[in-house]
Structure 1
């Protein structure tokens, strides 16, 4: 059993038993905080080079955080070296993973100029950092179908199969032990 899971469970017991032992509890942690404690790994990202795509990347990361339990995408703290660097450029969007949860994402303006959704692009490219391959051609319901779904496709959400694959990619990995898993 992981220490984080054990301490999270112990904290929940103490919070729930507090009113019984000491009167009413003053505050209870929000459900999202408990969910985040369950994440095995954190992958940090740096949007300082993302230019006009910073908000799209943040939304793409939030979508992944809403979709999976075993990994959390989080902005790197000031002065912290990020696992994933986000860069805006004039080419086609692409990812260059160096290992599971590490690498560089390029949010290329060429696809945006052609009419592709910036949030879908960001979520798709972050999917590569989480270990997902392209699935081309593919339907709009598949995030990893990317541009093959056409410019009318704005779906930024991973399919059930894509979520399950990310969960498998990160399950059982000790926190911070992602390097070399790809």
Structure 2
């Protein structure tokens, strides 16, 4: 798919080719207003997914915008509750952090659930979705090839532009 960007130069429009990956991506927004000390970890966990998949991108919600994903901090164990693919709530639980688990790995793992991935436990550190079963020494926050492929497949059939998808979700 070719995406054309128009630029105005001295009153005339000129067309240039733009990368098509971002045009095809479904954009999901996340709200960190309740994430407390985990905001930076969530932003970095989202950046990991943005750097590793093309069919979906995670962006912070603008002020007043209804987000697809709500991020909360609490004293329990980290968890995610999905309401549909790309939508739900993540709790960044302090219990795992207190035990020594990496906050960026936790954020990326929980975002993986929102993106449609199940836990793969027990598992090696190389598998993001192995979660805590990889141990506290594991700081790998990058999804492996099969995890990336599954997320790409999950969002390949969205069949709508990011703007339409976002608008539809805001109306839900």
TM-score normalised by L of structure 1: 0.80
**In the TM superposition, what is the alpha-carbon distance from 1:77 to its structure 2 partner?**
1.1
Q: Which has the higher strand share?
A: 2
* Higher Rg of the two aligned structures: 1
- 1:48 is matched with which residue: 33, 44, 61? 33
- 2:115 is matched with which residue: 106, 130, 141? 130
Structure 1 segment 36-75 matched on structure 2, within 5 A: 36-39=22-25, 41-75=26-60
Q: Structure 2 unaligned runs (5+)?
A: none
Distance 2:53 2:17 in 1: 20
CA contact (8 A) 2:21 2:55 kept: no
Pair 1:110-2:102 in alignment: no
**In the TM superposition, what is the alpha-carbon distance from 1:46 to its structure 2 partner?**
0.1
- 1:92 is matched with which residue: 64, 77, 101? 77
Distance 1:147 1:30 in 2: 40
Residues 8-37 of structure 1 show CA distances to partners (whole Å, capped at 9, x for unaligned) of 1x33xx78xx9xxx9xx9xx8996xx5423
CA RMSD of aligned residues (A): 2.4
Change (3 A) 1:29 1:135: same
**In the TM superposition, what is the alpha-carbon distance from 1:66 to its structure 2 partner?**
0.3
Consecutive aligned runs of 4 or more in structure 1 exceeding 3 Å deviation: 28-31
Distance 1:150 1:131 in 2: 23
Distance 1:74 1:106 in 2: 18
Q: Which has the higher helix share?
A: 1
- 1:172 is matched with which residue: 147, 157, 163? 157
Distance 1:172 1:91 in 2: 35
Distance 1:100 1:37 in 2: 19
Q: Structure 1 unaligned runs (5+)?
A: none
TM-score normalised by L of structure 2: 0.85
Secondary structure at the residue paired with 2:29?
strand
